[in-house]
Amino acid sequence: MFSVKKLKISYQSEKFAGTLFSQADLLQTESSFSLDELSFSIAPGQGYGIVGVNGSGKSSILKAIAGLIPAEYEELNLPEKVITAFDLNLFFHPDFSGTDNLFTMNACYAKSDAELLENLDEIIEFSGLGDFIHRPVREYSSGMKMRLGIAYILYQDFDLLLIDEVLAVGDLSFQRRCLAFLRTKIENGASVLICSHNLEEIAQLCSHTILLDKGKSLFQGKTEEVIEHYLQECEKRGQFISAFEIGRLRPDWEGQEQLDIKNVRILNKDNEEIEHTCVGESVRVELSLNVNFGVVSNPLIRLLIHRNDGQLVFGVNNYRLSKRFDIAEGEASFCFSLDHLNLQASLYYISVSVWPDEYCSMVTEESFDEHYMRYKLYVNTQRKDGTGIAYIPCSFDVVE
């Protein structure tokens, strides 16, 4: 069981603060950071997340718990076996092979060679480096080095693992293997505290999460509730984010936005506004726009549906449906009709957006307006058959 009570971090760097090897920049100013008192606990077999924009204090919390930076606290209870995964490149010597660097890393974690040899083959296989494991690390890409370091960490025996933004390496297949491996560790009783900008990663691993902003805890609770609160906060501040916190830009003409999304409604077949529906029901998403001036020529209007873990399950736009048109100055309404919403029971988020054209939607990411994951839709079911994202009508027979 891990717990910390009234953790507090505070430091200040003076103006013109240089280092042992460098002089201070003459344009330097004083800097400071403080974390308000924070208390939370993590049970065995639980994943716990920390999210927030850069500079909010996520990494500082992990470093304070690990004893790498000074901090104050009323109480700190750490389990017996704690391991950290921060900047794993620090352990690697460029002239050593991948295998040699594993032994170096093992020594840095105060482990014996015998302990490493027990899992050496599995670590190398999990890293996916193949014959590169015998090549000097200077020939590795940064992703290859991180994969080797992560593979080592995951195969250690730990009660609590502290992770700081190191899973977003390698290809999608490697990331999924890491997440699956960590889920297995958690199911077997290990605890994980992770800070990340990848909300999908947090949703998959963590039952509870903390949202930080400039050293203050804005929200603590169940992960799905914290993510929802995070998205709402970003909407309020004009930060349109995806599961990977990608910013959105809006084109501006002489300081005035040309088009705004005024209202979005989710309707059932009886034209009633809803937040709940059932598998297979008809659903309509109606959006009202306002063109403030001029004519918007051939816009792209897009609908996205995400599951509550950030997984995109459906996307469509008027171009794909062979509907092209211009919108004159004033108000206009449009509707996406989903005749059979064959999604499995879960909470989904609906996004709507309007773009100047397909190029802007895919390349420049400059939208007229975008309401990202703003509208909830709970899908319920009475069916007992099937799991996953989609419901596909299915039958089963015995073949004689």
Please check whether residues 79 and 212 belong to one and the same domain.
Answer: yes
- Is the model more confident about 162 or about 24? 162
Q: Is a pLDDT exceeding 50 seen at residue 245? A: no
Q: Please indicate, yes or no, whether residues 273 and 219 belong to a single structural domain of this protein.
A: no
Question: What residues have CB less than 8 Å from 291, skipping those under 6 apart?
Answer: 258, 259, 327, 328, 329, 330, 331, 332
The CATH code of the domain that includes 60 is 3.40.50.300
Q: Are residue 310 and residue 200 in the same domain, yes or no?
A: no
Residue 39 sits in the same domain as residue 82: yes
Per-residue pLDDT at 253: 41
Residue 303 lies in a domain: yes
Q: What percent of the chain has pLDDT over 90?
A: 28
- Structural domain of residue 120, as residue ranges? 2-13+31-236
Instruction: Give the pLDDT mean for 46-66.
Output: 88
* CB-based contact 149:88 (threshold 8 Å): yes
Among residues 203, 236, 269, the one where a domain terminates is 236
Looking at the fold, whether 169 and 91 belong to one and the same domain comes out as yes
Residue 115 resides in a domain: yes
Specify the CATH number for the domain of residue 316: 2.70.50.60
Gap between the Cα atoms of 152 and 207, Å rounded: 25
**Domain-embedded: residue 396:** no
Eight-state DSSP code of residue 343: B
Is the per-residue pLDDT at 255 higher than 60? Answer: no
Q: Are residues 111 and 208 in the same domain?
A: yes
Please check the confidence at residue 386 and state whether its pLDDT lies above 70.
Answer: no
User: Is 397 contained in some domain?
Assistant: no
Most confident stretch, 189-193, 305-309, 382-386 = 189-193
Examine the domain organization and report whether 199 and 274 are in the same domain: no
Domain contains 399: no
Query: Model confidence over 182-227: pLDDT tens digits?
Result: 889 999 999 999 998 877 778 888 999 999 888 888 889 988 888 8
pLDDT given at position 242: 42
Q: What is the mean pLDDT of residues 218-241?
A: 74
Domain end among 236, 270, 291: 236
52 and 103 within one domain: yes
Q: What is the DSSP letter of 91?
A: G
pLDDT at residue 91, as a whole number:
75
Task: Kindly state the percentage of the chain with pLDDT values over 70.
Answer: 84
**Hey, what are 280's tokens?**
């297979």
> What is the rounded distance in angstroms from the CA atom of residue 6 to the CA atom of residue 40?
9
Q: Is residue 151 in some structural domain?
A: yes
The mean pLDDT value of the chain amounts to 82
Question: What is the rounded distance in angstroms from the CA atom of residue 281 to the CA atom of residue 265?
Answer: 16
pLDDT of residue 162: 93
Q: What is the pLDDT of residues 335-362, one digit of tens each?
A: 999 988 888 878 889 999 999 877 676 6
pTM greater than the 0.75 cutoff: no
Residues 228 and 326 in one domain: no
Q: Are residues 198 and 290 in the same domain?
A: no
- The total number of structural domains in the chain stands at 2
Per-residue tokens: 290: 């306002």
Whether residue 265 sits in one domain with residue 371: yes
Distances (CA, A) of 400 to 348, 394, 397: 42, 19, 9
